[in-house]
């Protein structure tokens, strides 16, 4: 079923788009000319099309190496719905399904074969691949090959060995959404890419709005944020399994449609919960970072991190799961200094990588601590959050994006000298042995039992900032850290210590000013659609139709059409099949399969107005 049409014709015929996104056409062209590729493209930028289109245009089979079984299923379902021959071979299929898949591969029925990296070590699978005409190998989530990446998976190290066992080396194309220079070098070296064409399209996701918030009562704030977004789908990420369980119970008790995902659940439970979320049976997914790598759900409208992630790479990858349909979406991080202490503990007690020497393990651990520092700076910065992320990945930062919480918050240059003296004095009286949370509690006069046990309720600085909110005290401490008056020591439990710059402040010889958030309350508003009231009403009708069709065909709703495609239908209001074919995301197969049903719904709606 090799399609000999042009790249643009294949794009429109099977995927319903009339123009390539940035970088796609260049990558496809290089693959078609037999050149290895490394594509670094943001989540939602269309990486999969970069290997799916060459797969359709060339002889032989394209082998896609993907880290998650659930992702394979979603992608294969979407391809089949678009009229493309694709299949997966993994641990979930029966022997008869395996035999049928192999038969279809050798008969030319399937152009794409998806599998997990662990299967490459299976001798039988390798022998089968040697007999197939594999012309392209696509490595998804390629950063997993690097020990310096956030998701290192030893099974990825076997990819180059597997390729070496094939009778003829295919073109190799590697893709990832997040990779620092060090990780990019590792990908090229470990996968043995041959003089690859390397393209970074940029890390900016213009449709995402970034926010960092602090709250005295995180659970109460979380419930409020989700209820404000009750009409849309979202993910809440937590750092630990116990947090996932607790937050899930909280949301269920609040009457919120939610499910959960973490490594402690059985395979069956995880699969069912993920399918409930994919199919919109549950509106909110509460999960650890075990959930979501490459998740193919386009209508996630917000990501809330209940706990701060360990590093910028993980955060940006997880946040990038919002707004994959191109619609405006939110990425909200609920910051607490306690999250920093938790991650320090987890880094210190992480399982050693047996593939590395002791010296290499120490280097990796040191690197993990450095990445945690960058993540903490992101959470405490007053500068543009989008600019911070872009600069981290080596791009030219922006000073004002106009969409993140920092850019939308009013700041004032404030004299904080007196507050600084109080904080510094308290740190000294506490022998410079404690972290932000306990120092803040002492300054605010908390009745915390630990404070009385340590005798800190007898200090002269106990309660001297009781009229200042907890978040304000911590904001001032963060400002003093950024300005170099206070340092946060390393180790498992970070403590606050004064630097040499603090002494003149304590003596009243130097004034301290800082860019501080004004006292006006900050509200993180839910993203709003640009559709009119009539169009929104039509969108509800089209979603109901989509759901009925999805249930009938036993596929996730977004595989029928994405939210973005439905919104485009509402804007364009097509009156016939030709006009319907011009809707974004409507290819030939979906036009024939769904066009009449959706046209009927759209035109009936239009006639009533």
Domain holding 599: CATH number? Answer: 1.10.150.80
Query: Which residue segment(s) compose the domain that 147 sits in?
Result: 7-200
For the chain, what percent of residues have pLDDT higher than 70? 95
Query: How many whole angstroms separate alpha carbon 399 and alpha carbon 384?
Result: 6
What pLDDT was estimated at residue 491? 53
In this structure, are residues 31 and 51 in contact, taking their beta carbons and an 8 Å threshold? yes
β partners of residue 136: 62, 171
Say yes or no: 294 and 196 in one domain. no
Domain assignment of residue 178, yes or no: yes
- First-last CA distance in the chain: 45
Taking alpha carbons only, the member of 223, 207, 173 closest to residue 63 is 173
What pLDDT was estimated at residue 111? 95
List phi, psi (to 5°) of 329. -145, 165
Query: How many whole angstroms separate alpha carbon 514 and alpha carbon 589?
Result: 59
Domain assignment of residue 527, yes or no: no
Among 240-244, 473-477, 522-526, which stretch is predicted with the lowest mean pLDDT? 522-526
What pLDDT was estimated at residue 530? 66
Count H helices, E strands: the chain?
25, 17
Helix (H, G, I), strand (E, B) or coil at 513: strand
CA distances from 37 to 174, 189, 550 (A): 6, 13, 36
Q: Pairing mode, if any, of strands 411-415 and 513-517?
A: antiparallel
Domain assignment of residue 399, yes or no: no
Q: Is pLDDT of 364 > 90?
A: no
Q: Is pLDDT of 220 > 60?
A: yes
Which of the listed residues 517, 543, 575 is the one where a domain comes to its end? 517
The helix or strand, by DSSP H or E, that contains position 524, with its residue range, turns out to be: none
Mean pLDDT of 301-310: 94
Q: Is pLDDT of 521 > 90?
A: no
CATH number at residue 184: 3.40.50.300
328 confidence band (pLDDT: 50, 70, 90): confident
For the chain, what percent of residues have pLDDT higher than 90? 51
Say yes or no: 417 and 443 in one domain. yes
Say yes or no: 233 and 255 in one domain. yes
Say yes or no: 196 and 214 in one domain. no
Among 219-233, 343-357, 509-523, which stretch is predicted with the lowest mean pLDDT? 509-523
Non-local CB neighbours of 294 within 8 Å, separated by 6+ positions: 66, 67, 68, 71, 140, 141
Say yes or no: 229 and 196 in one domain. no
What pLDDT was estimated at residue 519? 57
Q: Pairing mode, if any, of strands 486-488 and 496-498?
A: antiparallel
Mean pLDDT, all residues of the chain: 88
Mean pLDDT of 351-358: 74
Helix (H, G, I), strand (E, B) or coil at 273: helix
Say yes or no: 369 and 423 in one domain. no
Q: Is pLDDT of 183 > 70?
A: yes
Q: Is pLDDT of 299 > 90?
A: no
149 confidence band (pLDDT: 50, 70, 90): low
In this structure, are residues 494 and 488 in contact, taking their beta carbons and an 8 Å threshold? yes
In this structure, are residues 216 and 470 in contact, taking their beta carbons and an 8 Å threshold? yes
292 confidence band (pLDDT: 50, 70, 90): low
Q: Where in 409-450 does DSSP place strands (E)?
A: 411-415
Which of the listed residues 364, 392, 420 is the one where a domain comes to its end? 392
What pLDDT was estimated at residue 45? 76
Residue 4: other Cβ atoms inside 10 A = 9
Token duo for residue 253: 């008790």
CA distances from 562 to 47, 542, 565 (A): 17, 11, 5
Domain assignment of residue 304, yes or no: yes
> HSE-up of 294 (CA within 13 Å, CB side)?
22
Residue 594: other Cβ atoms inside 10 A = 18
Say yes or no: 186 and 37 in one domain. yes
β partners of residue 498: 486
524 confidence band (pLDDT: 50, 70, 90): low
Q: Is pLDDT of 534 > 90?
A: no
In this structure, are residues 63 and 130 in contact, taking their beta carbons and an 8 Å threshold? no
What pLDDT was estimated at residue 490? 58
In tens, the pLDDT along 449-458 reads 999 999 999 9
- Highest mean predicted confidence (pLDDT) among 292-301, 365-374, 441-450, 468-477: 441-450
What pLDDT was estimated at residue 395? 84
In tens, the pLDDT along 550-559 reads 888 887 787 8
Taking alpha carbons only, the member of 47, 53, 54, 58 closest to residue 22 is 47
Say yes or no: 36 and 173 in one domain. yes
Query: How many whole angstroms separate alpha carbon 113 and alpha carbon 532?
Result: 43
In this structure, are residues 53 and 28 in contact, taking their beta carbons and an 8 Å threshold? yes
Say yes or no: 160 and 307 in one domain. no
> HSE-up of 276 (CA within 13 Å, CB side)?
18
The sheet with strand 284-287 has its strands ordered as 208-213, 329-334, 300-305, 233-237, 284-287, 258-261
In this structure, are residues 538 and 570 in contact, taking their beta carbons and an 8 Å threshold? yes
Helix (H, G, I), strand (E, B) or coil at 357: coil
Say yes or no: 47 and 162 in one domain. yes
573 confidence band (pLDDT: 50, 70, 90): very high
pTM greater than the 0.85 cutoff: no
Domain assignment of residue 83, yes or no: yes
Mean pLDDT of 524-535: 67
What pLDDT was estimated at residue 296? 65
What pLDDT was estimated at residue 35? 97
In tens, the pLDDT along 51-101 reads 999 999 998 999 999 887 777 887 898 899 889 999 999 988 899 999 999
What pLDDT was estimated at residue 465? 96
Cα torsion angle, 69, 73, 78, 84, sign: positive
Q: Is pLDDT of 298 > 70?
A: yes
Helix (H, G, I), strand (E, B) or coil at 287: strand
In this structure, are residues 286 and 256 in contact, taking their beta carbons and an 8 Å threshold? no
Query: How many whole angstroms separate alpha carbon 158 and alpha carbon 190?
Result: 9
Domain assignment of residue 528, yes or no: no
What pLDDT was estimated at residue 551? 85
- The structural domain count of the chain equals 4
Say yes or no: 365 and 300 in one domain. yes
CATH number at residue 470: 1.10.10.10
Which of the listed residues 453, 485, 517 is the one where a domain comes to its end? 517
168 confidence band (pLDDT: 50, 70, 90): very high
Domain assignment of residue 88, yes or no: yes
Mean pLDDT of 518-534: 62
Domain assignment of residue 426, yes or no: yes
Query: How many whole angstroms separate alpha carbon 177 and alpha carbon 7?
Result: 23
Taking alpha carbons only, the member of 216, 74, 217 closest to residue 140 is 74
Mean pLDDT of 504-517: 89
Q: Is pLDDT of 492 > 70?
A: no
Non-local CB neighbours of 604 within 8 Å, separated by 6+ positions: none
Say yes or no: 183 and 222 in one domain. no
Helix H segments across 36-116?
A: 49-57, 69-81, 95-107
């Amino acid at each position: 079923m090799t399609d000999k049409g042009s790249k643009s014709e294949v794009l429109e015929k099977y995927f319903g788009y009339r123009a390539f996104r940035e970088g796609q056409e260049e990558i496809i062209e290089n693959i078609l000319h037999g050149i290895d590729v490394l594509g670094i493209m943001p989540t939602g930028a269309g990486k999969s099309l970069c290997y799916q289109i060459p797969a359709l245009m060339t002889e032989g089979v394209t082998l896609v190496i993907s880290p998650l079984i659930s992702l394979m299923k979603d992608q294969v379902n979407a391809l089949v719905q678009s009229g493309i021959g694709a299949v997966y071979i993994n641990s979930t299929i029966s022997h008869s399904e395996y035999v049928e898949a192999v038969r279809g591969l050798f008969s030319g029925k399937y152009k794409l074969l998806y599998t997990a990296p662990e299967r490459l070590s299976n001798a039988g699978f390798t022998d089968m691949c040697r007999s197939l005409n594999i012309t392209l190998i696509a490595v998804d989530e390629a950063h997993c090959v690097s020990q310096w990446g956030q998701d290192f998976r030893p099974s990825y190290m076997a990819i180059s060995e597997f390729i070496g066992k094939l009778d003829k080396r295919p073109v190799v194309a590697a893709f990832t959404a997040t990779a620092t220079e060090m990780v990019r070098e590792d990908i090229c070296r470990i996968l043995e890419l041959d003089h690859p064409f390397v393209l970074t399209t940029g890390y900016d996701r213009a449709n995402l709005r970034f926010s960092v918030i602090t709250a005295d009562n995180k659970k109460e704030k979380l419930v409020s944020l989700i209820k404000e977004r009750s009409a849309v789908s979202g993910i809440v990420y937590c750092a630990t399994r116990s947090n996932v369980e607790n937050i899930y119970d909280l949301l269920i008790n609040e009457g919120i449609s939610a499910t959960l995902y973490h490594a402690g659940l059985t395979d069956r439970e995880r699969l069912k919960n993920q399918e409930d979320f994919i199919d919109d049976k549950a509106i909110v997914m509460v999960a650890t970072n075990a959930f979501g790598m490459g998740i193919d759900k386009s209508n996630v409208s917000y990501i809330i991190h209940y706990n701060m992630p360990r590093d910028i790479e993980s955060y940006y990858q997880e946040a990038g799961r919002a707004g994959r349909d191109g619609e405006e979406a939110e990425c909200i991080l609920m910051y607490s200094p306690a999250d920093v202490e938790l991650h320090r503990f987890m880094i210190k007690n992480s399982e050693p990588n047996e593939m590395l020497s002791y010296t290499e393990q120490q280097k990796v651990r040191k690197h993990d601590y450095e990445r945690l520092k960058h993540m903490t700076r992101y959470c405490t910065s007053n500068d543009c959050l989008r600019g911070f992320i872009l600069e981290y990945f080596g791009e030219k930062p922006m000073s004002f994006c106009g969409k993140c919480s920092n850019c939308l918050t009013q700041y004032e240059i404030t004299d904080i000298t007196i507050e600084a003296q109080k904080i510094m004095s308290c740190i000294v009286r506490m022998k410079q042995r404690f972290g932000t949370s306990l120092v803040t509690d002492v300054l605010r006069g908390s009745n915390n039992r630990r404070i009385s046990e340590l005798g800190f309720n007898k200090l002269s600085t106990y309660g001297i900032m009781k009229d200042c909110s907890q978040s304000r005290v911590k904001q001032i401490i963060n400002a003093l850290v950024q300005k170099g008056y206070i340092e946060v020591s390393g180790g498992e439990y970070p403590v606050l210590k004064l630097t040499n710059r603090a002494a003149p402040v304590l003596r009243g010889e130097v004034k301290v000013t800082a860019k501080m958030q004004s006292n006006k309350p900050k509200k993180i508003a839910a993203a709003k659609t640009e559709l009119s009231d009539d169009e929104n009403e039509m969108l509800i009708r089209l979603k109901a139709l989509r759901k009925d069709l999805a249930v009938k065909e036993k596929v996730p709703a977004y595989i029928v059409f994405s939210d973005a495609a439905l919104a485009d239908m509402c804007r364009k209001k097509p009156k016939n099949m030709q006009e319907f074919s011009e809707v974004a995301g409507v290819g030939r197969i979906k036009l024939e399969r769904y066009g009449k049903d959706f046209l009927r719904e759209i035109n009936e709606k239009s006639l009533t107005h």
